[in-house]
Structure 1
Amino acid sequence: MVLEAVMLHVKAGREEEYEEAFRAASKIIASMPGYISHELQRCMEVKGKYLLMVNWETIEDHEIGFRQSDEYQEWKKRLHHFYDPFPTVEHFKKVHQ
């Protein structure tokens, strides 16, 4: 399993709109091959800051299967305009529990 982790900064004043758009867009990512689960968490200290974590079976499921799909284009259309700056995506593999 691979964890995709992304720190997101949503434009000021658009947080509620973003959360609603994210809820709707969640159906897209959840339908993808190799998808396991995801969660979006809101930062308690910094307004507009979120942590997105998505569990994938493999990194290829995310980088190729999702990112190169038509579904990703729809995800991008619904969500990417909320971010400033545009986020950096990182992948992690569990080494200890």
Structure 2
Amino acid sequence: MILELADIKILAGQHRAFEQAVHQGVELAISKAKGFQRYELRQSLETPERYALLIQWDTLEDHTLGFRGSPAYATWRGLVGQFFAQPPFVEHFSLSQ
């Protein structure tokens, strides 16, 4: 099991629309991907335009090869990409103990 952490900075004043787009994108695209487990979206208290999107996947490849290599990725980016102030920083972490 791995955790994808996407550090996302959005355009000012777009909070509600961005959050709705993320939830819609997860429902329509990400949740149907092989290996998807769960997600959380967290807004920074100090920097309201900064979000952490946390997604649990079965394997790194489920995210990097499976989802990112699928048409669903284009659907996801089409829904949320318009809100990005800059490209998100994405990193993966082990969840094994």
TM-score category, normalised to shorter length: over 0.9
Q: Report the equivalent of 1:59.
A: 60
Q: Report the equivalent of 1:4.
A: 4
Q: What residue ranges of structure 2 are gaps of 5+ in the alignment?
A: none
Q: Report the equivalent of 2:26.
A: 26
Q: How does 1:63-82 map to 2 (within 5 A)?
A: 63-82=64-83
Q: Distance in 2 between matches of 1:10 and 1:51?
A: 11
Aligned-partner residue type, residue 84 of structure 1: A
Shift of 1:94: 3.1
TM value normalised by structure 2: 0.93
Aligned-partner residue type, residue 15 of structure 2: E
Aligned-partner residue type, residue 3 of structure 1: L
Q: Report the equivalent of 2:41.
A: 40
Q: Distance in 1 between matches of 2:86 and 2:71?
A: 24
Identity of aligned residues (%): 32
Aligned-partner residue type, residue 31 of structure 1: K
Aligned residue for 2:34, secondary structure, equals coil
Q: Report which stretch shifted further, 18-27 or 62-71.
A: 18-27
Q: How many residues align?
A: 96
TM value normalised by structure 1: 0.93
Shift of 1:2: 0.7
Shift of 1:95: 5.7
CA deviation vs aligned residue, 1:20-75 (integer Å, no higher than 9, x gap): 11111111211111111111011111111110000000000000110010111100
